[in-house]
Structure 1
Amino acid sequence: MSENTAGQQDEQGRDEEQAPGLQPLDETGIERILLVVAHPDDIEYGTSAAVAGWTSRGIGVGYLLLTAGEAGMQRPPREAGPLRTEEQRRAGEAVGIERLAILDFPDGTLEYGLPLRRAIAREIRGYRPDAVVAGSGDLFVGWGIDHPDHRAAGLAAIDAVRDADNRWVFPELTSDDELEPWGATWLLLTGRAPTHYVAVDEEAEARAVASLEAHEAYLADLPWHPKPADFIPEILAGTGKAAGVPRAVGFDVHRLRG
């Protein structure tokens, strides 16, 4: 990718951020979407409603989890990891995903760096998505100070989108794994003020609630946690109000290709 191309992409991103109001995401040409997160359940706090809408429209969706969430429960990691993996499988089924990959980076101590970028770039090349969804990597997000794993995952995913498109970054992916470079067209970030929205219907909302409810044992370890049906609809309605629709999921959207 040339420096001029990168500069054009930056200008496009700034133009979108300055556009008044939320714009509907143009899904034209989007056939596959990859969501990259740190833990099981990270996608289920509203974003899975967009996933349910995408899969209902025939868009293929894959999840890449960088850890198994083994440090996130009140039980030994050797027990929690497999349990959370199974719950994530059921959560993905609730919204119709076609691909689930869970890596073995350590939960709670995820580090931004070349191994993480390489692993994400490998999955991008393997799945060949038209859009990648990731966290922003920001310290401060809408709900407060973000988890360090979320920040590492977001930054690594953002960089890995570019890495996956460059033959000379991680050349072993081409020579050893036989994965050709792949450039996603769209980067959709969560945790930031949205520029665009995906409208969702009542069915997608119900499936999103079911996807979080699939994390049954995890939620049982958090007695203070509200029931999914008590707050997921409120999240979607809040974004919908800003977008002028009944319910929606918002993203900070960057077009990476013309």
Structure 2
Amino acid sequence: MTEPTTRHLAPMPDDWQRALAVVAHPDDLEYGCSAAVAAWTDAGREVVYVLATRGEAGIDTLEPATCGPLREREQRASAAVVGVSQVDFLDHRDGVVEYGPALRRDIAAAVRRYRPELVITLNHRDTWGGTYWNTPDHVAVGRATLDAAGDAGNRWIFPELTERGLQPWDGVRWVAVAGSSSPTHAVDATDGMERAVRSLLEHRSYIEALTDEDPETYARGFLTRTAEETGQRFEGRPAVAFELFPR
């Protein structure tokens, strides 16, 4: 069953200073969030990226031992384009990330470390728009992030984090899910679009393995098309959509 779509998207809250983006793989954020991230960092807000894996299983022609370091370098360069300097990797195994206490604990630790008001993740549901099957890694990391936003504030769930000096943080006010088929809010992508394209292009090795199309044509076409489609529900302005869960 296709999930209902909200027709009008409200502006994302802007009364916050720190955000933490948690996704499964290098390039997950660049396929939809980076124009919003560029707008946020331009406004002086702090954004940190946390990736569950290094994407080492993402390129069929490269063995994981070679692919992982390559994709890590591309992710760090990609983040820098949109003003993000802190990129952490949790070193879960690409392709077989498991939802459970270990993943929740690792993400809760990151929330406690960086103390965000806004947490961002990717579509945690089984499908993309009720049509395309989502990957297990996206589902596991998205769901664990939603849960870890609460775990981080409870000193009794993972007491070992307190022993490591990571004090509880109950200051997460929202979790925003990108790529949702039920978006509620959006961020104007106008000013961040060019950097979003350049940010995605930093994943050149992945893109060249994915498509025979010219990388820039591919990146610009995908991001522009998505932003314009979202803009039809955001007063005609190209936009990045999120499903916002208040806490």
Q: Secondary structure at the match of 1:63?
A: strand
Q: What is the correspondence of 1:1-258 to structure 2 with a 5 Å cutoff? A: 21-28=8-15, 30-73=16-59, 74-142=61-129, 144-175=132-163, 177-183=164-170, 184-192=172-180, 193-201=182-190, 203-224=191-212, 227-256=218-247
Spell out structure 1 runs of 4+ moving beyond 3 A: 17-20
Tell me the TM-score normalized by structure 1. 0.88
Q: Which deviations, in whole Å up to 9, do the C-alpha atoms of 1:63-99 show, x marking residues without a partner?
A: 0000000000121000000000000001001100131
CA distance in 2: counterparts of 1:18 and 1:101, whole angstroms = 33
CA distance in 2: counterparts of 1:75 and 1:63, whole angstroms = 24
Q: Which deviations, in whole Å up to 9, do the C-alpha atoms of 1:198-242 show, x marking residues without a partner?
A: 1122x3000000011000111111234661012211111111121
Tell me the TM-score normalized by structure 2. 0.92
* Contact in 2 for aligned 1:199/1:245 (Cα 8 Å): no
* Contact in 2 for aligned 1:52/1:204 (Cα 8 Å): yes
CA distance in 1: counterparts of 2:27 and 2:179, whole angstroms = 15
Question: Residue 230 of structure 1 aligns to which amino acid in structure 2?
Answer: G
Q: CA RMSD in A?
A: 1.7
**Higher helix share goes to which structure?**
1
* Contact in 2 for aligned 1:38/1:149 (Cα 8 Å): yes
CA distance in 1: counterparts of 2:122 and 2:236, whole angstroms = 24
In the TM superposition, residue 19 of structure 1 has moved relative to its aligned partner by 7.9
Question: Residue 232 of structure 2 aligns to which amino acid in structure 1?
Answer: K
Question: Residue 53 of structure 1 aligns to which amino acid in structure 2?
Answer: A
CA distance in 2: counterparts of 1:71 and 1:38, whole angstroms = 12
Which residues of structure 1 form unaligned runs of 5+?
1-16
Q: How many residues align?
A: 237
Which residues of structure 2 form unaligned runs of 5+?
none
CA distance in 1: counterparts of 2:154 and 2:41, whole angstroms = 29
* Contact in 1 for aligned 2:28/2:122 (Cα 8 Å): no
